[in-house]
Amino acid sequence: MDLGLKDKVALVTGAGSQIGFGKAIALTLAREGCDVICNDIDIEGAEQTAAEVRALGRRAIAIKADVTKSAEVNDMVKKALEEFGKIDILVNNAGHAFARGPFVEQKEEDWDKDINLNLKGAMICAKAVLPNMLERKSGKIINISSGAAKRGGPFVEAYGAAKSGVGGFTKSLALAIATQGINVNCIAPAIAITNFVGGKLTPGVQRMIDEIPQKRATTPQDVANMVAFLASDVSAHVTGQMFSVDGGSTTTT
Amino acid sequence: MDLGLKDKVALVTGAGSQIGFGKAIALTLAREGCDVVVNDINIEGAEQTAAEVRALGRKALAIKADIRNKDEVDNMVKTALKEFGRIDILVNNAGAPGIGPPTSEEVWDINVNINFKGTWYVTNAVIPHMRERRSGKIVNFSSSVARSGTGGLYAAAKEAVIGLTKSWARELGPLGINVNGIAPGMGDTGFQIAAKATPEQKQRFISTVPMRRLTTPQDIANTVAFLVSDVSSDITGQTIQVDGGDYMF
């Protein structure tokens, strides 16, 4: 199926990790014909991802920016627009859980980090990119939420709350700009062997996998495929939704 | 994106209407390389859809069967397996609204038997085969009105399909079989003709949809193609809204 993504420009945040969702998203969009802005605070990683996008025959730039800082994000978007002239697709992928363990032992400053990175970061990036999309009455915003938003995230409560917030933000923004030719959706993956879990299949992670009906972890490619679908006009009538890509973990809504 | 659907065999129920979702699904899957078993109670319509699948260079077989009738359903699946050797994809698209007072048992029977029990019959007939091959994709049809409860017994039957989708997804997940659903918004299909929607009612409805338009058969067919492909293999038990943002949760 031709997703019609040739020559679209995508900004993917948190695309520096070499085992994360962001890189798989960047490369999958590149294979569909997109040019990609690879963002991360880890610029070496972002450069590596950008190099692999270029190896697929598409243009790419790596930009270092902390998505929790408006000034850095605004600079990034300005630079991206100077380079590519437009941003068709924004993938708010950057995320992490800092506050972990028993709730009462978590540090308040880690909650702030969780809320700022996962929720406010997505809002800051959307705000920076939207003027260009609104002007052209065309755009796709894809936020990465989490299964923790739907099922709850024990021992990462602030992360779960932030990711629930991403779901609410997705709906509200989708409604506000539904007639402007801009689709806003989000994806809720299950556990994956990324930096979120230190890149390792620990016994704890294995226990989570055992509870998944399909008995496997979510892969970066699973998420990237869903992003490609949502970034395409074949899903033009889909907006404001949260998509579970989780092997059937969440069959409750 | 190559969806990897070349030479897959799909059974699409309710693909006889020339303005419905089923036909768009059959043709979209054919364009992706699938052979298609085209089912309907309206066999002339099914034959027409099958002819258009063949015009795209794929094999097609039209089979008349009323999904409310277990024998007819079992025979259809048997015939399909004899002809194609396997069924990779089942799209339970056939459905219809029973219009009338929600206290009427006749209205109950129409809604439940077509939309809920019919889906159950067809899926039951196909599951043993998918189990044996430890592979398969099933897409059921719910409706946006199931989420909002704005469609009487039809909405109730379509909500029941969501439950069926989840139960099958859990049961069949370990076998590598994906079961998902789609909840479309209002389309310009036979549904409206059956529901006798006036142009004013239609306009009023559209004005409440965030994207201010009806759902097209192609909108639905695109999502079906994604869900029956292995690119979405981590997605199961979900019922996906394709409705212009009519319902969000």
CA angle B37, B69, B94 (to 5 degrees): 50
Q: Domain ranges for chain B, please list them.
A: 9-238
- Chain B residues whose CB is inside 8 A of the A242 CB are 249
CA distance B205 to B216: 15
B66 CA to chain A: closest CA distance, Å? 30
HEC string of B34-90 equals CEEEEEECCHHHHHHHHHHHHHCCCCEEEEECCCCCHHHHHHHHHHHHHHHCCCCEE
DSSP class of residue A13 equals S
What pLDDT is stored for residue B150 in this prediction? Answer: 84
Angstrom CA distances, B56 to A192, B29, B31, B36, B80, stand at: 40, 10, 7, 11, 20
Whether A57 is a known active-site residue: answer no
DSSP 8-class letter at B99: -
pLDDT band at B221 (very low <50, low <70, confident <90, very high): very high
Any B CB within 8 A of A248 CB = yes
Tell me the torsion sign for CA atoms A191, A230, A234, B150. positive
Does residue A252 carry a pLDDT above 70?
Answer: no
CB burial string B4-25: b at 16+ within 10 A, e below: ebeebbbbbbbbbbeebbbbbb
What integer is the mean pLDDT of A215-232? Answer: 97
CA distance A224 to chain B (A): 9
Residue A251 pLDDT greater than 80, yes or no: no
Chain B (64-123) residues lying within 8 Å, Cβ to Cβ, of chain A: none
Cα separations (Å) of B173 from A91, B137, B179, B241?
Answer: 29, 11, 8, 21
pLDDT at A191: 95
Helices (H), chain B: 21-31, 43-55, 70-84, 105-111, 118-133, 144-148, 152-172, 190-195, 199-206, 217-227
Q: Hey, of B137, B168, B235, which one would you mutate to test binding to chain A, going by the most A CBs within 10 A of its CB?
A: B235
Q: Quick check: A253 pLDDT over 60? A: no
What are the CA-CA distances from residue B60 to residues A124, B33, B63 (Å)? Answer: 51, 12, 10
Percent of chain A topping pLDDT 90: 97
Contact B248 A179 (CB under 8 A): no
**Nearest to residue B11, comparing CAs of B110, B122, B95, B96?**
B122
Query: A9-243 is classed in which CATH architecture?
Result: 3-Layer(aba) Sandwich (3.40)
For strand A60-64 and strand A35-40, is the pairing parallel, antiparallel, or unpaired?
Answer: parallel
Residue B191: its pLDDT value, please? 81
Report yes or no: A30 at the B interface, CB cutoff 8 Å: no
B165, B171, B231, B234: best to mutate for the A interface, most A CBs within 10 A: B234
Catalytic residue among B120, B121, B141, B154: B154
Tell me the chain A residues in contact with residue B1 when contact means C-beta distances shorter than 8 Å: 1-3, 31-32, 225, 228
**B219 to chain A nearest CA, in Å?**
6
ipTM: 0.84
Minimal C-alpha gap between B182 and chain A (Å): 11
Q: Given this model, what pLDDT does residue B151 score?
A: 85
* Residue in the structure block whose two tokens are 């899957």: B29
Contact criterion met (CB below 8 Å) for A189 and A227 = no
Among residues A98, A159, A196, A243, the one annotated as catalytic is A159
Cβ contacts (< 8 Å) between A225 and chain B: which residues?
A: 1, 231-232
CB contact under 8 A, A222 and B233: yes
- Do A179 and B237 make contact, defined as CB atoms within 8 angstroms? no
Residues 174-193 of B with CB under 8 A from A: 174, 176, 185
User: Which residue of B232, B242, B248 is in closest CB contact with A226?
Assistant: B232
pLDDT (tens digit, 9 = 90+) per residue, A182-215?
999 999 999 999 999 999 999 999 999 999 999 9
Q: Could you tell me the sign of the dihedral formed by the alpha carbons of B127, B129, B131, B137, in that order?
A: negative
What is the fold, at CATH topology level, of the domain defined by B9-238?
Rossmann fold (3.40.50)
Q: Tell the burial category of B2 from Cβ atoms under 10 Å away from its Cβ (0-12, 13-18, 19+).
A: exposed
Q: What is the pLDDT of residues B129-140, one digit of tens each?
A: 999 999 999 999
Residue of A nearest to B29 (CA): A1
β-pairing verdict for A35-40 and B89-92: unpaired
Res B73: pLDDT: 98
Q: Is the pTM of this model over 0.80?
A: yes
Domain boundaries along the sequence of chain A: 9-243
pLDDT digits (tens, 9 = 90+) for B178-201: 999 999 999 988 887 777 888 898
Contact criterion met (CB < 8 Å) for B237 and A222: no
pLDDT tens per residue across span A81-136: 999 999 999 999 999 999 999 999 999 999 999 999 999 999 999 999 999 999 99
Instruction: Considering only the beta carbons, identify the residue of B169, B212, B240 that sits closest to A213.
Output: B169
Give the residue from B28, B175, B247, B248 with the most A CB atoms within 10 Å of its CB, the best one to mutate: B248
pLDDT for residue A245 is more than 70: yes
Given CB atoms, is B249 within the 8 Å cutoff of chain A? yes
pLDDT in tens, B94-122: 999 998 898 999 999 999 999 999 999 99
Taking the C-alpha atoms of residue A27 and residue A29, their distance in angstroms, rounded to an integer, is: 5
Give the mean model confidence (pLDDT) for residues B14-37.
Answer: 98
Question: Smallest CA–CA separation between B106 and chain A, in Å?
Answer: 31
Question: How is residue B175 written in tokens?
Answer: 């076998």
Give the DSSP H/E element, type plus range, for residue A37: strand A35-40
Dist CA A156 CA A238 (whole Å): 30
